Amino acid sequence: MTRPNPTVFDGHNDTLLRIVMDRRKGREIDFLAGVEGYHIDLPKAQAGGLAGGLFAMFSPNPDSLSSALGGKPAMGNPISQEVAEDFTYAMMDAGDEIVAQSGGAVRHCTSAAEIRTAMQEGALAMVYHIEGAEVIAPDLGNLDALYTRGLRSVGPVWSRDNVFAHGVPFSFPASPDHGPGLTAQGEDLVRACNAKGLMLDLSHLNEKGFWDIARLSDKPLVASHSNVHALSPTPRNLTDRQLDAIAESGGLVGLNFAVGFLREDGNHGRTDTPIAQMIAHLDYLLEKLGEAGVGIGSDFDGASMPREIGDARGLPLLVAAMAEAGYGEDLIARITHGNWIDLLERTWVA
Ligand SMILES: [Zn+2]
C-alpha cells in the first residue's frame, strides 16, 4: 500500500467514542469499510496518509446525552467510575474488534517499535489513551489491568473535576489558571504512571495541575491536543510559561485543529478558518519548543475542523501548507510523525 508522503501520526482523535455512541443509537458502523461523516475511518486514513495515532477513550456524562439541549449543559458534571468503566471498555472492545477484523490493516500498538513497523507496512497504528481518568480506581487498583489491556496514555482529567484533578472550563477568553491543583490521589497517579511508563497527557488540565505534574513527573511534559494561548486565549491552550516548561522537559505539543482553539475570537462555528491559522500556531510552537517539540493532535471526530481540511483526507493540504511556509522535508517529517514516535519511545520506559 502506498500513502501520501509524509505520513501522519496524530496525538488525538475521538473516533472510538463516536463509534460507541452511534452504535448505542442503533446505527451500524463499519470503520474498515468507511463511515459517512466521520473524520477518521480506514479508507480516509489511507487516502490522507494518516498512519496512526492516540485513540482517546472519553466517557461522556449520561445526563448530557439525554439533554434536550444537545448535551452541553451536563457535559462538565462529574461522572462515576461505573459510568466510565461502561464507556471505556466499550471503546476498547470496539478498537480490539476493528483490529481483529482488519486482517492486519489496523494494529493495536503498545511500543514505538510496533508503531514504526505498522507505518512501514502501511497499517494504521492504534494507541489507547484515556481522556479523563474516571475509569481508574481512586486507589489505582485497576491500573495494572488497564495497562495489560494495552492502555499506554492517561489524561488525568477532562474539562470537569474528578478524584485526581481539575479540568479547565470551556470559557473564552480565559486563563487556564482556574481551580486547585492535583489531589493526593492525582499525585499518586502521576507517580504510578511514571513507574509503569504510561504517558501523561496535560491537555484539559488546569494550570495548577499542570505545574504539579511539571514538578512531580520525571518524564517529558506532553499536551497531546492544545494550541497557543497567545494566539487563541482559551484555557484549553498553553501559556508561554507552560510552553517554556514543556520545552525544558524535552516534551511535545500536538497541534489541535479545532477552529475554536485556533482562532483569536475562539468561535467554534467558524469552519472557514484558513489553514494559514494552523501554520501560525505551528510557527509559534516551533519558536518556543524547537523542532523536536511539535507534533499533530487533530481532535478529529471530537471538534469542528477547518473546512479546507474537512477530515483525514485533508491532511496532505496541511503538509503542503507547511512546505509553502518554508518547512523543510526533515522538519515536516518530525512534525507529522517523527517527534511523536520519539516522544512515546522516551516516555514508555518503566
Ligand atoms: Zn480533548
Structure confidence by residue, pLDDT tens digits, 190-218? 999 999 999 999 999 999 999 999 999 99
For 289-321, the pLDDT digits (tens) are 999 999 999 999 999 999 999 999 999 999 999
CA dist., res. 207 & res. 235, Å (int): 9
Structural domains in the chain? 8-347 (3.20.20.140)
Contact by Cβ (8 Å): 95, 126: yes
203 C-alpha to center of ligand 1: Å? 7
Omega cis (within 30) before 156: no
The residue whose grid cell reads 477532562 is 158
- Percent of the chain whose pLDDT exceeds 70: 96
pLDDT at 5 over 90: no
268 C-alpha to center of ligand 1: Å? 14
pLDDT at 70 over 70: no
Confidence band for 170, pLDDT divided at 50, 70 and 90: confident
Contact by Cβ (8 Å): 200, 156: yes
The one-letter code for the residue type at 231 is L
pLDDT at 68 over 60: no
- Confidence at residue 23, expressed as pLDDT on a 0 to 100 scale: 96
Q: What is the mean pLDDT of the chain?
A: 95
Q: Tell which residue, 288, 201, 197, 279, has the closest CA to residue 236.
A: 201
- Confidence at residue 65, expressed as pLDDT on a 0 to 100 scale: 77
83 C-alpha to center of ligand 1: Å? 18
237 C-alpha to center of ligand 1: Å? 11
Q: pTM value?
A: 0.96
Q: How many whole angstroms from its chain centre is CA 322?
A: 21
For 89-146, the pLDDT digits (tens) are 999 999 999 999 999 999 999 999 999 999 999 999 999 999 999 999 999 999 999 9
- Confidence at residue 4, expressed as pLDDT on a 0 to 100 scale: 59
314 C-alpha to center of ligand 1: Å? 20
Mean pLDDT for 42-66 is 93
For 225-244, the pLDDT digits (tens) are 999 999 999 999 999 999 99
Q: How many whole angstroms from its chain centre is CA 55?
A: 7
- Confidence at residue 133, expressed as pLDDT on a 0 to 100 scale: 98
- Percent of the chain whose pLDDT exceeds 90: 91
- Confidence at residue 67, expressed as pLDDT on a 0 to 100 scale: 55
Structure-block grid coordinates of residue 135: 475509569
Contact by Cβ (8 Å): 167, 226: no
130 C-alpha to center of ligand 1: Å? 10
Confidence band for 1, pLDDT divided at 50, 70 and 90: very low
149 C-alpha to center of ligand 1: Å? 22
Omega cis (within 30) before 60: no
Q: Tell which residue, 316, 217, 308, has the closest CA to residue 271.
A: 308
CA dist., res. 188 & res. 299, Å (int): 28
55 C-alpha to center of ligand 1: Å? 11
13 C-alpha to center of ligand 1: Å? 8
For 25-49, the pLDDT digits (tens) are 999 999 999 999 999 999 999 999 9
258 C-alpha to center of ligand 1: Å? 10
The residue whose grid cell reads 489496523 is 106
34 C-alpha to center of ligand 1: Å? 23
Contact by Cβ (8 Å): 260, 226: no
- Confidence at residue 158, expressed as pLDDT on a 0 to 100 scale: 95
CA dist., res. 70 & res. 320, Å (int): 36
